Structure 1
Amino acid sequence: MLSNWIPAISLGAKGLIRRNRNSNPNPKIVCVQWFSFSSSKAPIDMAARDGELRVFLVAGEVSGDSIASRLMASLRLFSPFPLRFAGVGGHFYIDVVEARWLFHRFIRVKLVTCDVTPFALMPFAPMLVVPAKININVSDQRAKMASEGLKSLFSMEDISVMGLWELLPHLYRIRVKLKETVEAAVLFEPHVVLTVDSKGFSFRFLKQLRARYSQNNLDFPSHFHYVAPSFWAWKGGEARLRGLAEFVDHLLCILPNEDRICRLNGLYATAVGHPVLEDVLELNLRNNSTIHEWRAKGNAEDFRNKYAVPAAPIDMAARDGELRVFLVAGEVSGDSIASRLMASLRLFSPFPLRFAGVERAKMASEGLKSLFSMEDISVMGLWELLPHLYRIRVKLKETVEAAVLFEPHVVLTVDSKGFSFRFLKQLRARYSQNNLDFPSHFHYVAPSFWAWKGGEARLRGLAEFVDHLLCILPNEDRICRLNGLYATAVGHPVLEDVLELNLRNNSTIHEWRAKGNAEDFRNKYAVPAGATVISLLPGSRVQEVSRMLPIFSDTVELMKDTVPQLMTVIHVAPNEHVENFMAGAIHRWPVPVILIPGGTTQLRYDAFSACRVALCTSGTVAVELQLARLPCVVAYRAHILTEWYVRYKAKIQYMSLPNILLDKAIIPEALFQSCKPANLALLLNDLIHDGGCREEQIIAAQKFVELLLPSERTKHNLPQQHLRSYADYTPSAIAALTILNHGKPVTSI
């Protein structure tokens, strides 16, 4: 049977008992009959002489406790003689193996009291996640080795230390415990000495014990070590294996090819398989089921009921008859992202939805009841923020109060990390103080940790108040997970512009390119046939526009004599403050100008199609221009103190996302002190008159856009019944399904 071939039973226990009996050196024989390198008698013969088999064990780690206890049980099963155990072990451990596999089936996250074997988690689940408010009391649990009859000298917890520097304060205590262990082993007169993992303590113990027996000219016991040292991970590791043969008679290896390399270096070894596989067998035995695949399946429902785990959003919606979502979206781009996500939630949710939060125009059209407009507090920069701090604090408090009163099942923030993270942190603290079941917290658009020194380290603190990050750039989700944050790569939301345009034009997607109608635009705005049209995108915040628009105006002034029939199209962000500023600014514009509202996707891409090049402030618009295949120049200015801070803290050399992802200056950038009308005019003139430069940007845009697509891994993990065609895998659809499936067992996602 498949279930018979487990590490402890098939290889470990039978090998210990049969060692030196009818030895066969062929490691392929499953019931291993081990060959002897030592002069000691076979353990089974010594047991026959003494009427019992005495085994002395040393198991250091928590995982070693589990390994040793199972091996002890298997020895009892196969030994023809009574067994007596002594040694060192006894980590407190969760006795219910099922709990270990249930911990990582939920999204909201922190392991508080229990230690879980790291290698037990890696093959089967994306992340270890346990509700932060659950405390699992292990005071009534017994160490596994003790439950199998081990009489322990002391607990290895007293000397369980990892690391070189960390070891120094404990050296004296470890030496004392090591001496005690050797003395106890000699007095016990074992037939078998078995050490499990913890090579630092284990190998020193085996070496000193073998030396003690040799000095006294005694028949020494057989020495076994379970879990080979990681020689394959270290320089010179293989060479150090040869020295182990002096005091280790047999290595029990758990990874492929370890046994072969050990034998080549003079150590007898057997590959017994990874002990964590026995968790599958134990679970199936408890559940009276058979093994069809090596996968450890726990009972999510039982765990939720036992420990009162907060329900998944969809379960809370089932209870209340509706799904309540509280949203906060800061930027203009965040408005578009949130509105599309709201539409996707309506499409996939089996329950009615109710929205509340802080909105912009597009979110209102999807039915959001807003507290106030984010335009009131939309500020970028350090120095620029100072005059608005009091108003932002007042609005933040209002938002937290409104969220608590709304009793949402899901809280979703989009971009604007400054306001969003403070809001999520205060909201989580408010729920914890009142001992309430808190909603699931999502943040859409991961912070640009890759752009700042120490950015990755700051990710770890987000897990306190963010349950799930929806990432839009490649590899962000992987790095977030490595730093303890659950994350999903949904793809860049601007890709949905292509789908929206194709839907309106009743066309299909052949490439990820947003094509507008240049002829319609030229006819609508009476653009002369020979005119050179430039798109200008000065930003979405009034602070940006008031700083950048005068620079753009002076740039156009310098160009009007060198570019015949120059016209400009200025894209106006859907922001009341920006619209008011723009209305007054264009009266003194040096060339004919067309103002178009930035909130209309079709009109925006029609304008892009009618233009030769574009000049934009750094931001999401640079991605939109690549999607439209419109060559551009990126510009940016800020307050001098903000610029100094960016120069000091940033660890990337580019500001526009296409250049960052391609790691090449494909798009010309004029930043900070270089952002002057003369420099911008020169860059734009070169781009207008040099077809090779424009073609280089267009070719690079195709490569860049492909990097923004959702990963195949993400698409594979989605419920396939919802998404049928390639075009269905939109960022908003993936994000919506991630939210709706949050907290469900991994197998159902």
Structure 2
Amino acid sequence: MTLSPLHSAALPANQLADSSYLACVAGEPSGDMLAASVLAAIKTESQLEHLQTKGIGGPKMVAEGFEALWPMETLAVRGYVEAIKQLPAILAVRQSLIKELMTHPPKAYLGIDAPDFNLGVEKKLKAAGIPTIHFISPSIWAWRGGRIKGIKESVDHMLCIFPFESEIYDRAGIQATYVGHPLASTIPMVPDTDGAKRKLNVKPGSAVVAVLPGSRKSEIAMIGPGFFEVIGKMFEQYQLDIEFVVPIATDSLKSSIEKLAEQIRQRHPQIVIHLLSGQASLALEAADVVLIASGTATLEAALWKKPMVISYKVPALTAWIMKRQAYLPYVGLPNILAGEFIVPELLQDAATPEALAQATLAWLDQPAKVSDLKNRFTAMHETLHLPTGKLVANVIADVINAK
């Protein structure tokens, strides 16, 4: 594999020579979004306003003044089997990153999610006396095993986005702070669904289904074809006007999703499918119901107060490993936070186009159930709504000052 300069494991001389910086690593679009809110807050924190930020990140971080030494796409892999294919490139980047950070130590290291990558880096840095902060706890509450022991060896301070997590770390003797979820501060408590529909030029009176098949190439390959089959079936089955909105997470996914949409349009010439460049928030705000791949986006849908059906497919071996490790009966964040199945989850073999279409359309015929769900999601939103960026910046300042 030939790597471009940004992907190369070697960095230009003196690229990290200034030690007055915070090293940050985010590995996927959701981490890029979360980190960007922190970087914006850092610029307003008097103790940190001159602190440079460098490492691995995406366009939202760069827009906040971050220097991306590698693009985050190298790390954007999900699943055990899928990661094997990308492993040589990931290990080369991690080895080079650790070497550079050891040579030119930062004030602190902030790992944003991506635990399989970040915890390994953090363990080396912590042993060398470099303070390590991890933003977004790994799902220790959802998986078996003693993962918390490894976290204790790697992380000086854990930043938790869910209220129940900090107690787990307190019991393990790991400093932790509940900082809320950044999305809860950016999404309005009451969405303007009609206004969002007007922005999309939706026909008045039409039901809108937002379809989010994922943000990675591997997800689009596994989930995309089935989700577009569901779109076709919902168009066939729904007796009233219906339109579909599909946000395309990154430019690299555009051609694959456009091809899937065209196949459905050829079979159903009258179907209306709005393909959006990014704009997942607009798609969710406009939606009456959402069909969505399991992941961070399910929490975003909940904060927009939308009924949804959660689905996911991975290769059989990955599914087998994950099933053996998991002990919670649900995978979707709305259900995990609620502690019960408040929205359906159809995974792996259960995620047939027929079953997904039926479960998604069912929400459109249950206004009382939708109203109850919106109340649950509003309460969830209120719990998660804190000045997250400022709280994270405060912890970073405290950790640096303590050093």
**Of 277, 282, 288, which aligns to 1:597?**
277
Matched, 1:356 2:54: yes
Q: Which runs of 5+ in 2 are unaligned?
A: 1-16, 266-270
The alpha carbon displacement at 1:491 in A equals 0.9
Structure 2 equivalent of residue 557 of structure 1 = 232
AA of the residue aligned to 1:528: K
Matched, 1:485 2:165: no
The alpha carbon displacement at 1:406 in A equals 4.3
Aligned to 1:706, the other structure's residue is in SS state: helix
The alpha carbon displacement at 1:428 in A equals 4.1
Post-superposition Cα deviations, 1:300-322, rounded to whole Å, max 9, x if no partner, equal xxxxxxxxxxxxxxxxxxxx998
Structure 2 equivalent of residue 107 of structure 1 = none
**Of 68, 72, 75, which aligns to 1:377?**
75
In the TM superposition, 1:327-476 aligns within 5 A as: 327-350=24-47, 351-428=49-126, 432=128, 438-454=129-145, 457-476=146-165
AA of the residue aligned to 2:312: Y
Aligned residue-pair number: 379
In the TM superposition, 1:605-644 aligns within 5 A as: 605-644=281-320
Q: Distance in 2 between matches of 1:493 and 1:514?
A: 17
The alpha carbon displacement at 1:405 in A equals 4.5
Matched, 1:739 2:396: yes
Q: Distance in 2 between matches of 1:562 and 1:491?
A: 40
Deviates more, 1:410-419 or 1:368-377: 368-377
Q: Distance in 2 between matches of 1:694 and 1:395?
A: 46
Q: Percent identity?
A: 28
| TM-score when normalising by structure 2 | 0.88
Post-superposition Cα deviations, 1:219-274, rounded to whole Å, max 9, x if no partner, equal xxxxxxxxxxxxxxxxxxxxxxxxxxxxxxxxxxxxxxxxxxxxxxxxxxxxxxxx
Does structure 1 conserve the Cα–Cα contact (< 8 Å) formed by 2:19 and 2:105? no
Structure 2 equivalent of residue 720 of structure 1 = none
The alpha carbon displacement at 1:560 in A equals 1.1
Does structure 2 conserve the Cα–Cα contact (< 8 Å) formed by 1:497 and 1:514? no
Matched, 1:496 2:185: yes
AA of the residue aligned to 2:322: V
**Of 643, 646, 659, which aligns to 2:322?**
646
**RCO comparison, higher one (Cα < 8 Å, 6+):** 2
Q: Distance in 1 between matches of 2:59 and 2:108?
A: 21
Change (3 A) 1:606 1:516: farther
Post-superposition Cα deviations, 1:473-495, rounded to whole Å, max 9, x if no partner, equal 12211111211211111112211
The alpha carbon displacement at 1:380 in A equals 0.7
Structure 1 equivalent of residue 256 of structure 2 = 581
AA of the residue aligned to 2:393: A
- Considering only CA atoms, is the larger Rg found in Structure 1 or Structure 2? 1
Change (3 A) 1:517 1:562: closer
Q: Distance in 1 between matches of 2:81 and 2:286?
A: 38
Post-superposition Cα deviations, 1:18-46, rounded to whole Å, max 9, x if no partner, equal xxxxxxxxxxxxxxxxxxxxxxxxxxxxx
Q: Distance in 2 between matches of 1:606 and 1:635?
A: 21
Does structure 1 conserve the Cα–Cα contact (< 8 Å) formed by 2:107 and 2:400? no
Change (3 A) 1:530 1:475: closer
Aligned to 2:158, the other structure's residue is in SS state: strand
Aligned to 1:355, the other structure's residue is in SS state: strand
AA of the residue aligned to 2:387: T
The alpha carbon displacement at 1:531 in A equals 2.0
Structure 1 equivalent of residue 370 of structure 2 = 694
The alpha carbon displacement at 1:629 in A equals 1.1
Does structure 2 conserve the Cα–Cα contact (< 8 Å) formed by 1:379 and 1:385? yes
Does structure 2 conserve the Cα–Cα contact (< 8 Å) formed by 1:516 and 1:608? no
The alpha carbon displacement at 1:737 in A equals 0.4
Does structure 1 conserve the Cα–Cα contact (< 8 Å) formed by 2:125 and 2:131? no
Post-superposition Cα deviations, 1:526-555, rounded to whole Å, max 9, x if no partner, equal 221132210011111111122111111111
Q: Which runs of 5+ in 1 are unaligned?
A: 1-319, 433-437, 502-512, 710-728
AA of the residue aligned to 2:132: H
Aligned to 2:399, the other structure's residue is in SS state: coil
Change (3 A) 1:397 1:580: farther
Q: Distance in 2 between matches of 1:743 and 1:361?
A: 26
Q: Distance in 2 between matches of 1:346 and 1:327?
A: 15
Q: Distance in 1 between matches of 2:345 and 2:247?
A: 20
